[in-house]
């Protein structure tokens, strides 16, 4: 391979990206060296096993990926704004919609939610860390490396262009030659390891590490939704792992699982992809539901309505989520029997979701509602998500789906559920728990601007797409003719897209503004909350979270303590030494070896992949012989920390 | 933290894991040999390697996945264990039977492009012919 094939050349947009990447790297290196931050970076962040710091790193990565995926989206909208536009060529457009979809789902939505789960869940259940803190660090670094591997594709080697679904035979060597598709396979494979480990880690954490007295049916709703999400992750992600591995064999070693030759079954890929893909939809929506439950309950000043109904509907959703995958390819033509069954299961899964919507409405009914920004996002969610849900039921009817399939109607539908569901939740959760992470709130006034800009922009962008779809505009086309008559609505849609982009910039500005000017929180209870994470005396919990593990007597324990005027004040007598896990640089190093392994496979440089593989196994062996049982925080240190923070 | 309780591995030599590991490799190599190195008919190869697959799964559950361990601590652990296995069985059945059903019903039959068919139509099942299959 020649150097001019190794680097992507010939497009001014890419050269611009090259320059900005190099400048950013130089800037970061200069900053770290000039202000002697290297040691700080290593000891405080790269080697940390603290769930709160890992959570923040997840969220920072997710916001960066939201920027990247958002830029992709705006490039697409620019190209589609007018008929016969020449802004992007078809190959470039294909690459951009592929990376947009993949990044937004795998490297934005998932880490954003997992980041919030990381920060919040151990605090909500009264634990000092997760069950396997070291594994948690491995999770983060494999995710991060997977994301970086995927992201460098647009400057080195070329991006995948077969869509985020990577259907065969389009994604085969014959139709997608070069390293692009391999980036997809290995980026997702490596990040998938991290997700699977997170699933196991948090399942065990929630089952085993709850504070005494916190029975399963006293857990906060966000913890419940995380628990159900982890179960789905554990059972769904292995399917993706296997499917990706089989396609990798096809592309790298000439096997015939999904190829057109040699008795391969191309549609089996679609089948396996959606067997994972549909549960994945619920992996990114259930934690969102959990967050909205917490926020709506807090700002309505009421206990969540129908707590048990919420839980049972989530458990039902977890089971159903494995029974609906064929609705993504009704048009494959499996026949009336298959399509009818999956039509019915798809409509059935709407029922528990509907139950939840009503539960939120009844939670607000006769509540004292406070219109804070997290609450605004939650209210916006209910309205917009229902639009997405109703169009989802329309799509669920197999006969009708033949008309909607592959049109902008579908595009609009899944953006209405994923943006109004997951993205709104990410913003709501971020704002709600921001004081827990950083010790101050985001500015509410600017926050409301963000909400209105984004929500209006979102509707202006995607509402026209329903009508474009009904008018026959197919998805994944890079341009259209003037005669089609799709021009005006596309222009409106593009304007909405840019409004969302502006809203994102205002959100980032709000982070900067609040960092400079926001009033620092003096207590741990920024929103007059109900659950345990608000019960820490300091705004940001110390690294051991709780000096004394609380004893739980019922749902919304902290709220009821406050109502009864019986919030515990710690005395020196209560303090005992605390066992904590040690930091470790090994997960970061293992992640780096994964990068070498992935990069080797992407370019079919087997020697490099083997080298990386040896490194990964080496770090595993090293870990097996490492006898580190953590360390104790002395009573004096705990007392000192608690006093300082009081 | 919880990783200290990780069972017998810390005491003596982990024989259970070693035997499990070796047996897994032997079973895999055996399956490979059956598939590539023998002249058995396709049906028999499938039957035998499926048998190996089930053995392999049982081996994993017994040797590595603590399926026989009693829950000493709480009633909850036992319930979680049973629920876990039932859900795993449910998902496995859905994936395998569901895939077979979806991939063999209706038009999808014709997805096996190169497989010689003994039925009334030849290799690449044409679109016109598949029309009739969609209706039942």
pLDDT tens-digit map of A263-322: 889 999 999 999 999 999 999 999 999 999 999 999 999 999 999 999 999 999 999 999
* CB-closest option in B94, B101, B114 to A338: B101
Give the residue carrying structure tokens 């859900």.
Answer: B87
Q: Residue A33: its pLDDT value, please?
A: 84
Q: Is B113 touching A (CB cutoff 8 A)?
A: yes
What span, in angstroms and rounded, lies between the C-alpha atoms of A430 and A86?
38
Q: Is residue B123 part of a domain?
A: no
DSSP label at residue A152: G
Residue B106 resides in a domain:
yes
Mean pLDDT throughout A9-28? 80
Chain B residues touching A629 at Cβ < 8 A = 4
CB contact under 8 A, B1 and A132: yes
CB of B108 within 8 Å of any CB in chain A? yes
- Distance in angstroms (rounded) separating the CA atoms of residues A144 and A190: 9
The answer to whether residues A380 and A296 touch, using CB atoms and an 8 Å cutoff, is no
User: How far is the alpha carbon of A41 from chain B, nearest alpha carbon, in Å?
Assistant: 26
Burial class (CB in 10 A: 0-12, 13-18, 19+), A485: middle
Cβ distance A216 to B76 less than 8 Å, yes or no, reads yes
Total residues belonging to chain A: 646
Residue B10 lies in a domain: yes
Point out the residue among A209, A263, A271 whose CB comes nearest to the CB of B112.
A263
Contacts of A235 in chain B (CB under 8 A): 87-88, 91
Residues 6+ away with beta carbon under 8 Å from A245: A189
Mean pLDDT of A520-539: 90
* Integer Cα distance of A204 and A207 in angstroms: 5
Tens of pLDDT, residue by residue over A162-196, are 999 999 889 999 899 889 999 999 999 999 999 99
In sequence order, the β-bridge partners of residue A578 are: A633
pLDDT in tens, A479-526: 999 999 999 999 999 999 999 999 999 999 999 999 999 999 988 899
B109 touches chain A (CB under 8 A): no
Positions of chain B with pLDDT lower than 70, given as ranges: 1-11, 69-76, 107-136
B130 with A333: Cβ contact below 8 A: yes
Question: Nearest CA to CA, how far is A335 from chain B (Å)?
Answer: 4
Nearest-Å Rg of the Cα atoms of chain A is 25
Paired tokens of A120? 């919040």
Chain A hits for B134, CB-CB cut-off 8 Å, are 333, 335-336
pLDDT at residue A612 tops 90 = yes
Q: How far is A588 from chain B (nearest CA, A)?
A: 20
Full domain range(s) for residue B104: 4-112
**B101 lies within 8 A of chain A by CB:** yes
pLDDT of residue A201: 96
Helices (H) and strands (E) in chain A, counts: 22, 2
**Given an 8 Å threshold on Cβ–Cβ distance, is A579 in contact with B1?**
yes
Which residues numbered 415-434 in A keep a CB inside 8 Å of some CB on B? none
Partner-chain contact A333 B101, CB within 8 Å: no
Rounded Cα gap, residues A214 and A220, in angstroms: 10
**In this complex, do A268 and B3 lie within 8 Å of one another by their Cβ atoms?**
no
CA dihedral A16→A21→A27→A33, nearest 10 degrees, is -160
Domain contains B136: no
| pLDDT of A614 | 96
Is residue A211's pLDDT more than 50?
A: yes
- Asked if residue B121 is part of any domain, the answer here is no
C-alpha to C-alpha distances, B129 to A261, A431, A509, B111, nearest whole angstrom = 21, 58, 61, 13
Is residue A57 a contact partner of residue A45, using CB atoms and an 8 Å limit?
yes
Tokens (6 digits) for A593: 């070896």
How far apart are the CA of A265 and the nearest CA of chain B, in angstroms?
Answer: 6
Residue count (chain B): 136
Domain count, chain B: 1
Per CB-CB distance under 8 Å, the chain B contacts of A204 are 2
Tokens for A393?
């039921």
- Residues A570, A638 contacting (CB under 8 angstroms): no
Domain membership of residue B8 (yes or no) is yes
* A145 interfaces chain B, CB cutoff of 8 Å: no
Chosen from A269, A335, A399, A545 to mutate, greatest number of chain B CBs within 10 A: A335
Q: Is B2 close to A131, i.e. CB distance below 8 A?
A: yes
**Quick one: average pLDDT of A443-470?**
96
Residue A562 near residue A523, CB atoms below 8 Å: no
Question: Is the Cβ of B92 closer than 8 Å to some Cβ of chain A?
Answer: no
Nearest CA in chain A to B95: A275
pLDDT at res. B80: 78
pLDDT band at A3 (very low <50, low <70, confident <90, very high): low
Identify the residue among B91, B127, B129 best suited for mutation to test binding to A, counting A beta carbons within 10 A and taking the highest.
Answer: B91
A433 Cβ neighbours under 8 A, 6+ residues apart: A116, A119, A120, A533
* Set of chain A residues whose Cβ sits within 8 Å of the Cβ of B76: 207, 216
**pLDDT for A624-633, tens place per residue?**
888 888 889 8
B103/A271 Cβ within 8 A: yes
Q: How far is B89 from chain A (nearest CA, A)?
A: 11
Upstream peptide bond of A375 is cis (omega within 30 degrees of 0):
no
Would the CB atoms of A134 and B91 count as touching at under 8 Å?
Answer: no
Cα–Cα distance for residue pair A299/A621, rounded to 1 Å: 50
| CA distances (Å), origin B107, targets A167, A240, B95, B124, B134 | 18, 25, 20, 12, 6
Residue A150 has pLDDT above 60, yes or no: yes
The most confident of the ranges A360-369, A551-560, A629-638 is A360-369
Contact B111 A266 (CB under 8 A): yes
CA distance B58 to chain A (A): 18
Chain A positions in Cβ-Cβ contact with residue B115 (cut-off 8 Å): 263
DSSP state of A45: I
Contact A207 B115 (CB under 8 A): no
Euclidean distance between CA atoms A457 and A503, whole angstroms: 8
Read off the pLDDT of residues A117-145 as tens digits, 9 standing for 90 and up: 999 999 999 999 999 999 999 999 999 99
pLDDT of residue B16: 83
Q: Which residues pair with A440 in a beta bridge?
A: A520
Instruction: Give bridge partners of residue A520 from the DSSP assignment.
Output: A440
Cα–Cα distance between B65 and A194 in angstroms, integer?
Answer: 20
Position A1 pLDDT exceeds 80: no
Token representation of residue A284: 């990114």
Residue A48: CB atoms within 10 A of its CB come to 23
Distances (CA, A) of A58 to A62, A112, A166, A223, A355: 6, 6, 26, 18, 31
H/E stretch holding A580 reads strand A578-580
Strands (E), A43-181: none
CA–CA separation, A80 and A129 (whole Å)? 48
Distance from CA of B109 to the nearest CA of A (A): 8
Using a CB-CB cut-off of 8 Å, the residues of chain B touching A264 are: 113
pLDDT computed for residue A4 by the predictor: 66
Chain A contact for B69, CB < 8 A? Answer: no
CB A117 within 8 Å of CB A143 = no
In-domain check, residue B130: no
Q: Averaged over A567-588, what is the pLDDT?
A: 86
CA-to-CA distance for A146 and A585, rounded, in angstroms?
18
- Within 201-260 of A, beta carbons closer than 8 Å to B belong to 204, 207-209, 216, 231, 235, 239, 260
More confident residue, A342 or B120: A342
Q: Does B119 touch chain A (CB under 8 A)?
A: no
Tell me chain B's radius of gyration from C-alpha atoms. Answer: 22
C-alpha–C-alpha distance, residues A43 and A35, integer Å: 15
Distances (CA, A) of A380 to A71, A283, A284, A431, B125: 24, 21, 18, 15, 50
Whole-number Å distance between alpha carbons of A61 and A2: 32
Cα end-to-end span (Å), chain B? 58
Measured CA to CA, the distance from residue A79 to residue A62 in angstroms comes to 26
pLDDT tens digits for A594-609? 999 999 999 989 999 9
- B131 at the A interface (CB within 8 A)? no
Q: Do B103 and A266 touch (CB under 8 A)?
A: no
Shortest alpha-carbon distance between residue A96 and chain B (Å): 30
B52 domain-assigned: yes
């Amino acid at each position: 391979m020649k150097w001019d094939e190794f680097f992507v050349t010939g497009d001014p947009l890419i050269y611009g990206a090259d320059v900005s990447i190099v400048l950013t790297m130089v800037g970061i290196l200069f900053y770290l060296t000039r202000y002697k931050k290297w040691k700080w970076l290593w000891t405080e962040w790269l080697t940390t096993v603290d769930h709160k710091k890992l959570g923040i790193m997840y969220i920072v990565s997710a916001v960066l990926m939201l920027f990247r995926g958002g830029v992709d989206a705006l490039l697409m909208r620019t190209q589609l704004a007018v008929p016969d536009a020449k802004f992007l060529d078809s190959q470039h457009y294909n690459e951009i919609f592929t990376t947009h979809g993949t990044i937004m789902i795998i490297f934005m939505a998932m880490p954003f939610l997992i980041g919030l789960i990381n920060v919040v869940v151990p605090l909500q259940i009264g634990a000092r860390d997760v069950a396997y803190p070291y594994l948690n660090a491995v999770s983060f670094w494999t995710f991060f490396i997977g994301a970086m591997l995927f992201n460098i594709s647009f400057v080195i080697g070329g991006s995948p262009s077969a869509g985020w679904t990577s259907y065969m035979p389009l994604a085969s060597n014959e139709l997608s030659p070069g390293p692009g598709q391999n980036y997809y396979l290995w980026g997702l494979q490596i990040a998938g390891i991290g997700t699977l480990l997170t699933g196991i880690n948090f399942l065990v954490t929630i089952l085993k590490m709850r504070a005494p007295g916190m029975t399963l049916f006293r857990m906060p709703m966000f913890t419940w939704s995380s628990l159900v999400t982890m179960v789905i992750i554990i059972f769904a992600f292995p399917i993706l792992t296997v499917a990706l591995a089989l396609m990798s064999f096809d592309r790298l070693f000439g096997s015939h699982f999904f190829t057109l030759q040699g008795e391969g079954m191309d549609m089996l890929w679609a089948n396996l992809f959606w067997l994972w893909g549909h549960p994945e939809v619920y992996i990114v929506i259930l934690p969102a539901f959990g967050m909205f439950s917490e926020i709506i309950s807090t700002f309505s000043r009421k206990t969540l309505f129908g707590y048990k109904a919420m839980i049972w509907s989530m458990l039902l959703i977890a089971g159903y989520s494995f029974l609906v995958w064929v609705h993504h390819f009704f048009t494959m033509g499996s026949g009336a029997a298959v399509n009818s069954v999956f039509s019915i299961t798809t409509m059935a899964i709407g029922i528990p979701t509907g139950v939840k919507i009503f539960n939120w409405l009844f939670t607000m009914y006769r509540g004292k509602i406070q219109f804070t920004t997290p609450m605004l996002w939650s209210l916006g969610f209910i309205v917009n998500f229902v639009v997405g849900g109703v169009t989802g039921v329309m799509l669920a009817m197999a006969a009708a789906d033949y008309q909607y399939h592959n049109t902008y109607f579908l595009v609009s539908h899944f953006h209405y559920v994923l943006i109004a569901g997951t993205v709104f939740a990410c913003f709501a959760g971020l704002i709600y728990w921001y004081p827990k992470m950083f010790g101050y709130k985001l500015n509410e006034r600017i926050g409301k601007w963000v909400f209105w800009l984004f929500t209006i922009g979102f509707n202006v962008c995607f509402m026209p797409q329903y009508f474009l779809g009904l008018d026959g505009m197919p998805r994944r086309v890079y341009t259209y003719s003037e005669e089609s008559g799709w021009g005006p609505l596309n222009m409106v849609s593009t304007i909405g897209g840019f409004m969302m982009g502006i809203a994102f910039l205002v959100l980032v500005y709000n982070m900067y503004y609040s960092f400079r000017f926001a009033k620092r929180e003096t207590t741990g209870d920024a929103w007059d909350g109900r659950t345990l994470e608000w019960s820490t005396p300091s705004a940001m919990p110390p690294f051991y979270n709780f000096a004394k593990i609380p004893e739980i007597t019922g749902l919304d324990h902290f709220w009821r303590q406050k109502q009864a005027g019986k919030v515990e004040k710690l005395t020196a007598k209560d303090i005992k030494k605390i066992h904590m896990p040690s930091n470790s640089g090994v997960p970061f190093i293992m992640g780096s070896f994964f990068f070498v392994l992935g990069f080797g496979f992407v370019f079919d440089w087997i020697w490099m992949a083997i080298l990386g593989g040896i490194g990964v196994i080496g770090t595993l062996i090293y870990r097996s012989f490492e006898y580190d049982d953590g360390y104790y925080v002395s009573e004096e240190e705990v007392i000192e920390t608690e006093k300082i923070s009081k | 933290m919880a990783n200290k309780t990780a069972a017998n591995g810390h005491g003596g030599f982990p024989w259970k894991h070693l035997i499990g590991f070796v047996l897994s490799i032997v079973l895999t190599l055996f399956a490979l040999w059956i598939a590539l190195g023998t002249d058995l008919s396709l049906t028999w190869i499938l039957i035998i390697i499926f048998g190996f697959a089930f053995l392999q799964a049982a081996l994993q559950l017994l040797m590595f996945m603590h399926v026989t361990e009693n829950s000493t601590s709480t009633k909850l652990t036992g319930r979680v264990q049973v629920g876990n296995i039932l859900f795993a069985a449910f998902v496995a059945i859905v994936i395998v039977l569901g895939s077979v059903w979806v991939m063999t019903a209706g038009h999808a039959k014709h997805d096996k492009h190169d497989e010689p068919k003994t039925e009334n139509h030849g290799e690449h099942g044409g679109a016109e012919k598949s029309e009739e299959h969609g209706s039942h």
